[in-house]
Amino acid sequence: MGHSVIKGPRPISLHFANSQKIWDEAASSGVASLDMDVWNPTVRKRVETLKAQLQTLDDIEGFNVAVQRKASERKDAFIAGINTYILRPYERPASLSMVSKQIGCCSLHDYGGNGVPILLVPSLVNPYYILDLMPGRSFALFLKEQGFRPFLLDWGSPGDAEVGFGLDAYIRDRLEPVLRHVVSVAGKAVPVVGYCMGGTLCSALAVRNQELISKLVLLAAPWNFDTEKPLAGRQNAVEMLDLVESLPAGADVGVDLLQTFFTNVDPTLSDRKFRAYDAGKYVGEEADFFSAMEIWANNGPSLARVAAKNCLGDWYRDNKTHNGQWEVAGQIVRPQDISCPTLVAAPEADRLVPQESAFAILTDIANGDKLEPPSGHIGMVVGNRARAGLWEPTARWLKE
């Protein structure tokens, strides 16, 4: 069976609608909007500069006509960018790992070698291979070069065995057996790295398995869900929870719904990205990287319904993690019970998980360090500055 891949942002109707809405409203508003109270304080200085420039124009109506024409061109450029991207061939190079263990829908990828076994745990809601995206952009392969033997967990899409799985079942019945397997290979406690919500799950793993984990690294892992700067889509979380509860019995939460949640973090991103693509900003390896990222983001596994409800309700709505109420298999997850050295990395420009959220767990960890990579949430692990900003300092910390 071939592995089917959907190219293009999902749900595609939402991305089209966002682009159309942005430019249609701009075209119909024109110069009059500059005197309206709609401008964010961050851009108000630019508004005043533009107003001053417009006063030098002979024909202000010509400006409005130009705005309409340029807005129409931008809509076309967005669609053209998507077309060009879709038609550009790209296939992710085969991973240099082998599946060494399968538990239900989960696969454990072993990168081999004689290095120190280390468990890598990605998020449940995107494909696992963000930690091994492509040559030159693979945290897993970098760690192997540094003397480790990475074991990368692929959570997979929930199957029959995972019907009814909440986060606690994923931790108890999937993550913990995987950890025990890696420990059995190593013959001793192993370091564990968790990324995004995979990191939050690893916090519970560390609390419940203190003797099996030598060091813990949490990469952009949310902990406090009630920060001043809101987490991705937090204000929609309650409505999303209602929506998940209204899904047909047995239905999991698919990638379209998850992507809708994340698209609202920045509804202009898709338009800006694909217009840049249309303008030829991405060539060669950068274009391959663009394709790899888009395919990664838009072809993730679905999320088991109960697990989704745990995330939206227990985490986003009730902030049980930070409030000391998050329970996994009958045990409260208290950061105070994480006994191993812990590194929390939270990038400066993270719009999905604010630094304040990720660093909150450090308050209660006795032996904790922090790292602030100069990137965003995903750029931190695969971007051009990933090596210097995250990989190298993390490897050094792990070897200390």
Q: Which is nearer to other proteins, 62 or 113 (CB)?
A: 62
Angle CA 231–329–172, to nearest 5: 85
Which residue in the set 145, 211, 239, 286 belongs to the binding site for other proteins (CB under 8 A)? Answer: 239
Cβ of 284: how many Cβ atoms within 10 Å? 7
Q: Which is nearer to other proteins, 19 or 319 (CB)?
A: 19
Q: Which is nearer to other proteins, 25 or 245 (CB)?
A: 25
Q: Which is nearer to other proteins, 31 or 103 (CB)?
A: 31
Measured from the CB of residue 289, what is the shortest distance to other proteins in angstroms?
17
The helix or strand, by DSSP H or E, that contains position 152, with its residue range, turns out to be strand 148-154
Measured from the CB of residue 297, what is the shortest distance to other proteins in angstroms?
14
Contact by Cβ (8 Å): 232, 353? yes
Q: Which is nearer to other proteins, 11 or 393 (CB)?
A: 11
Q: Which is nearer to other proteins, 260 or 331 (CB)?
A: 260
Q: Which is nearer to other proteins, 67 or 179 (CB)?
A: 67
Could you tell me how many residues make up the chain?
400
Which range binds other proteins by CB under 8 A, 52-60, 103-111, 336-344, 356-364? 52-60
State the Cα torsion 163-165-169-170 to the nearest 10°: 100
Measured from the CB of residue 172, what is the shortest distance to other proteins in angstroms?
25
Measured from the CB of residue 70, what is the shortest distance to other proteins in angstroms?
5
Q: Which residues pair with 121 in a beta bridge?
A: 194
Phi, psi at residue 110, to the nearest 5°? -105, 125
Contact by Cβ (8 Å): 100, 182? no
Judged by CB under 8 A, the chain residues 65 through 124 that form the site for other proteins are 65-67, 69-71, 74, 76, 79-80, 82-84, 86-89, 91
Contact by Cβ (8 Å): 233, 261? yes
Q: Which is nearer to other proteins, 182 or 295 (CB)?
A: 295
* Residue whose C-alpha is closest to residue 199's, from 390, 400, 5: 390
* Interaction of residue 168 with other proteins, rule CB under 8 A: no
Measured from the CB of residue 239, what is the shortest distance to other proteins in angstroms?
4
Helix or strand or coil: residue 120? strand
The residue type of 13 is: S
* Interaction of residue 235 with other proteins, rule CB under 8 A: yes
Judged by CB under 8 A, the chain residues 262 through 281 that form the site for other proteins are 264-269, 271-272
Which residue in the set 236, 318, 369, 397 belongs to the binding site for other proteins (CB under 8 A)? Answer: 236
* Interaction of residue 39 with other proteins, rule CB under 8 A: yes
Measured from the CB of residue 358, what is the shortest distance to other proteins in angstroms?
17
DSSP H helices, 213-365, are 237-245, 255-263, 269-278, 284-298, 305-309, 355-359
Judged by CB under 8 A, the chain residues 295 through 334 that form the site for other proteins are 299, 301-302
* Residue whose C-alpha is closest to residue 255's, from 123, 142, 348, 84: 123
Measured from the CB of residue 360, what is the shortest distance to other proteins in angstroms?
19
Measured from the CB of residue 270, what is the shortest distance to other proteins in angstroms?
12
Judged by CB under 8 A, the chain residues 141 through 160 that form the site for other proteins are 157
Number of residues that bind other proteins (CB under 8 A): 80
Q: Which residues pair with 195 in a beta bridge?
A: 219
Q: Which is nearer to other proteins, 4 or 114 (CB)?
A: 4
Pairing of β 190-195 and β 116-121: parallel
Judged by CB under 8 A, the chain residues 12 through 31 that form the site for other proteins are 12-14, 16-17, 22-23, 25-26, 29, 31
Judged by CB under 8 A, the chain residues 343 through 382 that form the site for other proteins are 351
In DSSP notation, 178-244 reads HHHHHHHHHTS-EEEEEETHHHHHHHHHHHH-GGGEEEEEEES----S--SSPPTTGGGHHHHHHHH
Which residue in the set 3, 160, 284, 330 belongs to the binding site for other proteins (CB under 8 A)? Answer: 3
Sign of CA dihedral 236, 242, 246, 249: positive
Q: Whole-angstrom Cα distance, residue 359 to residue 394?
A: 16
